[in-house]
Amino acid sequence: MRHQVKYFMLALAAFAMAALLSGCGQGNTIRIGTQTFSEPKILAQMYRLLIEDRTDLKVEVMPDLATSSVVLDAIKNNDIQMGTLYTGIIFDNYFPFEMTKDRGQVLKQAQAGFDQYYGLKWFDPYGFENTYAFTVRKELAEQEHLQKISDVRPKAASMRLGVDTSWLEREGDGYPAFQKTYGITFGKTYPMEVALVYNAVASQKMDIVLAYSTDARLKEYGLVTLEDDQHFFPPYDASPVIGKQVLSEHPELNEIIGLLVGKIDAETMIALNYEVDVNKRNEKKVAEEYLRKIGLLK
């Protein structure tokens, strides 16, 4: 019996030591979660490189979390410590908000709300937003002098619109509200999967489609996005987001995370996505090349 107690105590001590070491390992590891598409994966790899280059911390990238909501919950629960989120997420009722489409005001609400209700630091944006964008072929844009959505009005009745199914019926930022804001009704509308709209407009099966503003296929097919001159779509500026508790433990991360703020515009993000999605290159390599290009890595 005495030997059993001795072995039990030794096992308990070993378990306690393992737990302590595990805790230390977590404290020295930053986990960055990403959604399923290439954009946040590339950004996560940039931060992995920057953090490991400038600190003794280790970084793990956890890809393919289903949605931004899953990323947010994972940060809140400390399953991950950091991710990329988009300001328009405030309209999903995470906390009380004031309805506005002013980009600055949406950003301020995201920063204040996720600080107060979730204990997160929402940094200023990278410099691009990923939101809905009406898109046409370059030749059509040049031929009809289309630069902004309002320019479409005289031709809309004869145009074929390709759009994801849900947008046609959505309230707030769907087709009925769009018609009221812009006074535009397209001749024919064709519901389709959003992944199909790029080829549809490039192959002239559609005249105009509703796409995503940083999708690599804009570059692949040589498409032009039209300016939302009436600010109809809610802003979705991308920012790094991290738990404030992590920043209190590792304050050096404030400066490192800030290195990418304002450094990536929409054209740059499209080009980076293009390298991964179209040229099938590794996200880590694409991230590293960009950081070296802008002088953040030697």
What are 134-143's pLDDT values in tens digits? 999 999 999 9
In the predicted structure, residue 11 carries a pLDDT above the cut 50: no
Q: In the chain, list all ranges with CATH 3.40.190.120.
A: 132-225
CA distances from 1 to 4, 5, 10, 15 (A): 5, 6, 14, 21
Q: What is the pLDDT of residues 80-103, one digit of tens each?
A: 999 999 999 999 999 999 999 999
> What CATH class does 2-129+236-293 carry?
alpha beta
Average pLDDT over residues 167-181: 90
**With respect to CATH, is domain 132-225 assigned 2.60.40.10?**
no
Say yes or no to pLDDT of 50 above 50. Answer: yes
- Could you give the residue range(s) of every CATH 3.40.190.10 domain in the chain? 2-129+236-293
> Can you give 189-215 as a three-state secondary structure string?
EEEECHHHHHHHHHCCCCCEEEEECCC
Element (H, E) at 242: strand 238-243
